[in-house]
Amino acid sequence: MNLVASPPTDSTIAIIGAKLIDGRGGPPANDACIVIRGDRIADVGKRTEITIPDGATVIDAAGKTVLPGFFDTHFHSRHSVEQPIKYELHHGITSFRDPGHPFKYYETLLSSNALIPRVFLCGGHLDAPPAVWPDQAEVITSNAEAKQAVASHVANGASAIKVYFRLPLEQIRATCNAAQQRNIPVTAHLELVDADDAIKAGVIGVEHITSFGTAIASDDLSERFKSIVSEDSAARREWRFRLWAQVQIENNPKVDDLIDLIVKREVFVSPTLAIFERRQGEKDATETEVTAFKNMMAFFKRCYQAGAKVVVGSHTAAPYASRGKAFLREAELMVQAGMEPIDVLTAATKNGAEFFGVGDRLGTIETGKLADLVIVDGDPTGAIKAIDRIADVMINGQWVPGLPNSVSQQ
């Protein structure tokens, strides 16, 4: 994680009158007061129970809702300062992770003097030859190389490791063992290795709902998919939909067993539903694609209902989202799949912080935690789209400048 500049230690701000969603999953609290001193939350509770320090800058946020800063668990950018600020920070996303791009892609961002989100990196994803993205991958051919790659990535600042879909199960296991020794998680994009095998090998995060497909499809369909994609990596784009269009979600013991494993192992599910969204009669979607997406949504709903740890990842852009709105679209789809808005907000805050390994200092609005906050117009527990009505964003106790509806800078 990058260092974010702090305000003066004697800076004191009190936000009053807003509805508070603290990220812990409980009901919102009306007429709250949050006191921020320096970069930390000094006090939080009902306005009638909080003493506002003398000299504090008081922000009246009546009619608005205050939430923890959002976590985008799957955001890619290259050599850009503007994109993470405009796509992420200006939309309330105070922390993001790029799962699997080389560190060099972020030299420009991390050397900038601009106020930027908290940046969590994995380094180049670990893949086997022929690598799907040779310029982005660390190519692994043995267990020893997998262990060395983990050591090197961690030494260079990786806070997680991502394995990519051509990496064999044996090397995934070696990667997980090396990462566990350094107390960092391994997350996976899967196509050729079944998700249950990868989870048993030590993977604790799964990127993309499609990564679960081969583990729940019929044996013959799964093997056909693997054979075709093994020969041609690009074929996955078509065959994901072919496979998912034929997957049986209900009354399928493979689905039951996999979801039981996900919940038991406390695996974080970052479904990136928005990048697979296909709708009848729109954007030349085929019947196969539309059916496949419905099944993806149904499987995600099963995961949520079973108590899986869901997180929110934008994948930067999505077909049914305008620029900078992929995170919002992902949240909307989660609600469409049957997730309660309050649980989506918990997924976007507390769960994200836990996935990143920073739940002790971020992800909820509690005394002593770092002051990463979002103020929105309206109540997102009633309509999740309210998270798009950003009034203010605070990171590390500092207001993000340039937001048109700001109440802090009026």
Question: Residues 78-96: what's their mean pLDDT?
Answer: 96
Euclidean distance between CA atoms 126 and 139, whole angstroms: 6
Which helix (H) or strand (E) segment holds residue 31: the answer is strand 29-37
Choose the CATH number for 70-356 among 3.40.50.1260, 3.20.20.140, 3.20.20.10, 3.40.50.170: 3.20.20.140
98 forms beta bridges with 121
Whether 126 has a pLDDT exceeding 90, the answer reads yes
Which helix (H) or strand (E) segment holds residue 98: the answer is strand 93-98
The model's confidence at residue 226, banded by pLDDT at 50, 70 and 90, is very high
- Report CA-CA distances (Å) from 390 to 65, 68, 90, 242, 343: 10, 13, 8, 39, 19
Q: What is the DSSP string of 278-338?
A: --TTSTT--HHHHHHHHHHHHHHHHHHHHT-EE-----S--TTS-TT-HHHHHHHHHHHTT
Looking at residue 136, its amino acid is Q
Extract the tokens encoding 167.
């990496």
Euclidean distance between CA atoms 331 and 310, whole angstroms: 11
**Model pLDDT, residue 154:** 98
Q: What is the mean pLDDT of the chain?
A: 96
Q: Where in the chain is the domain with CATH 3.20.20.140?
A: 70-356
Whether 179 has a pLDDT exceeding 80, the answer reads yes
The proportion of the chain whose per-residue pLDDT surpasses 90, expressed as a percent, equals 95
CATH number of 12-68+364-399: 2.30.40.10
The model's confidence at residue 405, banded by pLDDT at 50, 70 and 90, is confident
34 forms beta bridges with 15, 44
109-113, 122-126, 274-278: range with lowest mean pLDDT: 109-113
Q: Whose CA is closest to 357, among 147, 179, 177?
A: 179
pLDDT tens string 257-290: 999 999 999 999 999 999 999 999 998 999 999 9
- Report CA-CA distances (Å) from 223 to 148, 208, 219, 229: 31, 20, 6, 10
The model's confidence at residue 5, banded by pLDDT at 50, 70 and 90, is confident
Question: Residues 33-50: what's their mean pLDDT?
Answer: 96
Only one residue has tokens 């199960």, namely 169
DSSP 73: S
Only one residue has tokens 């490791």, namely 161
Euclidean distance between CA atoms 313 and 306, whole angstroms: 20
Euclidean distance between CA atoms 364 and 67, whole angstroms: 8
- Report CA-CA distances (Å) from 167 to 125, 189, 228: 10, 10, 16
Are residues 235 and 257 in contact, defined by beta-carbon separation less than 8 angstroms? no
Q: Where in the chain is the domain with CATH 2.30.40.10?
A: 12-68+364-399
Q: Is 290 exposed, middle or buried (0-12, 13-18, 19+ CB in 10 A)?
A: middle
Whether 1 has a pLDDT exceeding 80, the answer reads no
The model's confidence at residue 2, banded by pLDDT at 50, 70 and 90, is confident
pTM for the predicted model, two decimal places? 0.97
Are residues 326 and 314 in contact, defined by beta-carbon separation less than 8 angstroms? yes
Whether 239 has a pLDDT exceeding 90, the answer reads yes
